[in-house]
């Protein structure tokens, strides 16, 4: 059973480009969470999704950021018109459901905006 898979591991974008980060949850997991880790900081919650639904997006910046978790395929975190301040590590976690105690994390995507 593969763990949470994120790709790409590293992504370099120029200012103004779009960044697409992908997360495939563990098999059997229908809940996905995205977190952002700025340099020298802890992880900050961004968004919580179930299949085809956004449950909690209270941590998402109001503009340029969006997330989806379609019925088929991975969850996507999309950042439009990236700026230098978007440079960070973006982690995805999955769990089977809200009652479960364990969320398993992917290896992260390290986004660098140049």
Partner 1 sequence: GEDVEQSLFLSVREGDSSVINCTYTDSSSTYLYWYKQEPGAGLQLLTYIFSNMDMKQDQRLTVLLNKKDKHLSLRIADTQTGDSAIYFCAESIYNQGGKLIFGQGTELSVKP
Q: Where do contacts with partner 1 occur on this chain (CB under 8 A)?
A: 4, 31, 33, 35, 41-45, 48, 55-56, 91, 93, 95, 98, 100-108, 110
The b-or-e profile of 89-105 (16+ CB within 10 A means b, else e) is bbbbbbbeeeeeeebee
Name which of 107 and 112 has its Cβ closer to partner 1. Answer: 107
How near is the Cβ of 77 to partner 1 at its closest, in Å? 15
- Give the span between the Cα atoms of 56 and 28, in whole angstroms: 21
Name which of 14 and 101 has its Cβ closer to partner 1. Answer: 101
How near is the Cβ of 76 to partner 1 at its closest, in Å? 18
How near is the Cβ of 81 to partner 1 at its closest, in Å? 27
Kindly give the pairing relationship between strand 19-24 and strand 5-7.
antiparallel
Cβ atoms 106, 7 nearer than 8 A? no
């Amino acid at each position: 059973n593969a763990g949470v898979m994120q790709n790409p591991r590293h992504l370099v974008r120029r200012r103004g480009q779009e960044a697409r980060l992908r997360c495939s949850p563990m098999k059997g997991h229908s809940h996905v969470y995205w977190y952002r880790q700025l340099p020298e900081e802890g992880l900050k919650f961004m968004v919580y999704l179930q299949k085809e639904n956004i449950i909690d997006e209270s941590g998402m910046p109001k503009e340029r950021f969006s997330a989806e978790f379609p019925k088929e395929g991975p969850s996507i975190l999309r950042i439009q018109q990236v700026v230098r301040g978007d440079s960070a590590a973006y982690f995805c976690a999955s769990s089977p459901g809200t009652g479960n105690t364990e969320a398993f994390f992917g290896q992260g995507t390290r986004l660098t905006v140049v």
